Amino acid sequence: MSTKGKVIGIVSNLVTVEVDGPVAENELCHITLDGTPLLSEVIKVNGNKASVQVFESTRGLKNGDEVEFLGRMLEVTLGPGLLSSVYDGLQNNLTTMETVFLKRGEYTDPLDREKKWAFTPFAKPGDRVAAADWLGEVKEGWLPHKIMVPFAFKGTWTVKSIVPAGDYTVDTQIAVLVGENGEETPVTMTQKWPVKVAVKAYREKPRPQRIMETGVRCIDTFGPIAEGGTGFIPGPFGCGKTVLQHAIAKQGDADVIVMAACGERANEVVEIFTEFPELIDPHTGRHLMERTTIICNTSNMPVAAREASVYTAMTICEYYRAMGLKCLLLADSTSRWAQALREMSNRMEELPGADAFPVDLSAIISNFYARAGMVVLNNGQTGAVTFIGTVSPAGGNLKEPVTESTKKSARCFYGLEQSRADQKRYPAVNPIESYSKYLEYPEIITFLDEHVEHGWVDKVNKAKNLVRRGREAADQINILGDDGVPVSYHISFWKSELIDFAFLQQDAFDDIDALTPMERQKFMLDLLLEICDREFEFEDFEQCRSFFKELINDLRQMNYTKFHSEEFEQYNQTITKLLEEYGK
């Protein structure tokens, strides 16, 4: 007998329910409005009163309306067919909904139940298996999609039977497992998992070992993110957060990309599902959409489902990680999620923390970031979830609760700067304040030594230092005037401009410049450092300026040409000639 209840209070999407039996925190319930069930989640219980957040509009709801508790938490359905899907925050398939307007209470199946998948068994009868062990695989696009022992299975199980290779639907029983006390449980290609619980069915979670290339120079070289690492991009509106995130999504070296559009613009999601099917993954040559799942709760969709959307996205990543794949989760923006928490907290009249956010905001954020990481699976293979979130700080001021809480959890910080954006210096990542903690990891230093060049991190730090020195020189020039400082200050300033214009700035809308492979990044950085190492002699600062402007122009033109193409080499020669003219 499930617990039932009645509505006794309504403020926007917070509904108070009087219950007649036990309820659990985060348990789901259906509130029936004119025959339509509205999905809701318990967020607080006080005596026989439960406060529930409704994932839909509560227009027309009345006191006395009936509530039925479902005895489970919010879950996602996992199985082949998740990739290239477009879901809402509750994992309803948006592509199969028929009407132009979203209909309240319309829930659609996340997976295609009719489609047949070519299954190849790995396990044999008699095999001893545990949660997340691979029983077999199907091909989802070009990716091997492992069919696993459901995460919820505790202890050791024995395979009693498994179907032979063949085409099956996701609901077909593909194996029967026997538990420690002899109970037989059938397994299909799908399983369910509560989104707010981290999937822990792996052997261990070591420190990250390698970097994830994005083709974005200011990230890969200046602040690389590790595979299984965490990072965040805070920035005022109009500084290019979304463009940067889309660039990472298009170019990131990952097997699976999950994009959570959390409380952001619907047109940005439209851009993803319109353009991604056309775009080619630079690493595999396949269509980008084939490796992408979109979870979208845009800003006008019900607020409570915003929170659900990031958890749904994370759980899908963890599922693919358990198959030994590299997953990248991008959430835009985690501030909207925090605001959704704030709205509910305010409606429940909880004592507010800073800026009226709930006091446990920091803990919630750090728990979420902790779900990312590289893991060693039970079979010794590895998988990773790399997580990059954006933060939309109120008023562009980074001293606000969401940014501060995120800074404590994320290991990479890519701070977007208004003044850079105003000058159209994109990506507007501040090269001085931004950082990657991974550059201090011995494992990552070793990786870069082996995969890029021995001593690479020293070079990166040298370049960063040149930029810092240039900024200091610029300050001096601004205070004392062009003539008030020696020409060496100008040289120092222009060296930093050189690195800024030719390396840090990158045209995300140019086919060639948008994606710079590590090899080319190394070439460019070497070239720039070599130029910066030279001694120059100029008659005055005017000459210095025009020399560097010309040099910068050539280098930028070079960035637009194909690596080592004829045009590229021509610019390279022009640059060499120019350097000879002015060198000592």
Task: State the nearest-atom distance from the C-beta of 466 to another protein, in Å.
Answer: 21
Task: State the nearest-atom distance from the C-beta of 349 to another protein, in Å.
Answer: 7
End-to-end CA distance of the chain: 89
> Should residue 100 be labelled a site residue for another protein when binding is judged by CB under 8 A?
yes
User: Nearest 5°: CA angle at 51, between 47 and 54?
Assistant: 155
3-state SS string over 364-398?
HHHHHHCCCEEEECCCCCEEEEEEEEEECCHHHCC
Residue 200 corresponds to which tokens in the numbers above? 């822990």
Site string for another protein, 45-84 (x = CB under 8 A): ------------xxxxxxxx--------------------
> Should residue 35 be labelled a site residue for another protein when binding is judged by CB under 8 A?
no
Q: Which CB sits closer to another protein, 301 or 504? A: 301
Q: Which CB sits closer to another protein, 271 or 537? A: 271
The residues near 461 (Cβ < 8 Å, ≥ 6 apart) are: 439
Task: State the nearest-atom distance from the C-beta of 12 to another protein, in Å.
Answer: 7
* d(C-alpha 139, C-alpha 117), whole Å: 7
Span 425-454, contacts to another protein by CB under 8 A: none
Site string for another protein, 176-215 (x = CB under 8 A): ----------------------------------------
Span 471-500, contacts to another protein by CB under 8 A: 478, 481-484
Binding another protein (rule: CB under 8 A), the pick from 42, 78, 83, 86 is 86
* d(C-alpha 449, C-alpha 35), whole Å: 64
Binding segment (CB under 8 A) for another protein, from list 100-108, 201-209, 448-456, 487-495: 100-108
Dihedral angle computed from the Cα positions of residues 122, 123, 124 and 127, in that order, rounded to the nearest 10 degrees = 150
Q: Which CB sits closer to another protein, 54 or 515? A: 54
Span 258-317, contacts to another protein by CB under 8 A: 263, 265-267, 269-271, 273-274, 296, 298-301, 303
Site size toward another protein (CB under 8 A) is 78
> Should residue 560 be labelled a site residue for another protein when binding is judged by CB under 8 A?
yes
Binding another protein (rule: CB under 8 A), the pick from 2, 173, 379, 423 is 423
The DSSP output letter for 90 is T
The residues near 33 (Cβ < 8 Å, ≥ 6 apart) are: 58, 60, 61, 65, 104, 105
> Should residue 559 be labelled a site residue for another protein when binding is judged by CB under 8 A?
no
Site string for another protein, 336-375 (x = CB under 8 A): x--xx-xx--xx-x--x--xx-------------------
Task: State the nearest-atom distance from the C-beta of 79 to another protein, in Å.
Answer: 21
Q: Which CB sits closer to another protein, 24 or 97? A: 97
* d(C-alpha 218, C-alpha 467), whole Å: 12
Q: Which CB sits closer to another protein, 379 or 573? A: 573
- CB of 185 within 8 A of CB of 153? yes
Residue 60 corresponds to which tokens in the numbers above? 């027309």
Q: Which CB sits closer to another protein, 127 or 550? A: 550
Contacts 24+ apart (CB under 8 A), 509-516: 510/560, 512/559, 512/560, 512/561, 512/562, 513/559, 513/560, 514/215, 514/247, 514/250, 514/251, 515/215, 515/251, 515/282, 516/215, 516/216, 516/217, 516/220, 516/559
